[in-house]
Every structure is written in C-alpha cells, then in structure tokens.
Amino acid sequence: MSDTHPSPDRSHEAVHYTIRLRGHLASRWQAWFDGLTLTCDSDGTTLISGPVLDQAALHGLLHKVRDTGLPLVSVVQVDPTWATPNHPTHRATD
C-alpha cells in the first residue's frame, strides 16, 4: 500500500462567492476578510466577493461576518466568468 498525499480533488479550484451585508464596511476591512473585495452599494449594503477556497473557508468567512454583528442578507455562489461584483448574476445554491 503506497502513501500518497491526499488529493484535494476539485477543491483547489476556488469557487466565487458574494456575501451581502446590511451596512457599509470601509475598505480597510479588506485585510480582515482575507483580501476579498469589499464594495458598498447605494442601498446601504456591502458586498464581499471573491474566490473562496472551499466550504470550510466559506464557513470561516461567515463566522467573521457574524462576529462583526452586521446583519447577513445573502450568500450566493457565482460564476466568475460572467459576473462582476456590481452586477452579480445570481445562481442560488440553496
């Protein structure tokens, strides 16, 4: 029996997510959210978007959101090839 490094399968291809919060987060929070893009929308919400390594990373991110106390509006998985943060074409995952 040979030992091989466990293959991460498809998970090394990060999936893009957008997370919408109520309230504006200043861009200095970008480092706190692991360098994801922060965009404030005119409706008083903030969009956190970018590649997320895997489900565990996504949940870690959601914990950080929880810890700011800002209300969570939506979490959406997006196809990075035809979505921009300002005009996300949503594909709800669940």
* Residue nearer to another protein on the CB measure, 62 or 83: 62
* Residue nearer to another protein on the CB measure, 30 or 77: 30
Distance of closest approach, residue 29 Cβ to another protein, in angstroms: 5
Query: What residues make contact with another protein under the rule CB under 8 A?
Result: 1-6, 23-26, 28-32, 40, 44, 46, 66-70
Per-residue CA distances from 15 to 46, 63, 87 (Å): 20, 18, 17
The tokens of 12 are what?
């090394």
Distance of closest approach, residue 14 Cβ to another protein, in angstroms: 19
Q: With contact defined as beta carbons under 8 Å apart, do 52 and 14 qualify?
A: yes
* Residue nearer to another protein on the CB measure, 66 or 90: 66
Distance CA 6, CA 94 (A): 29
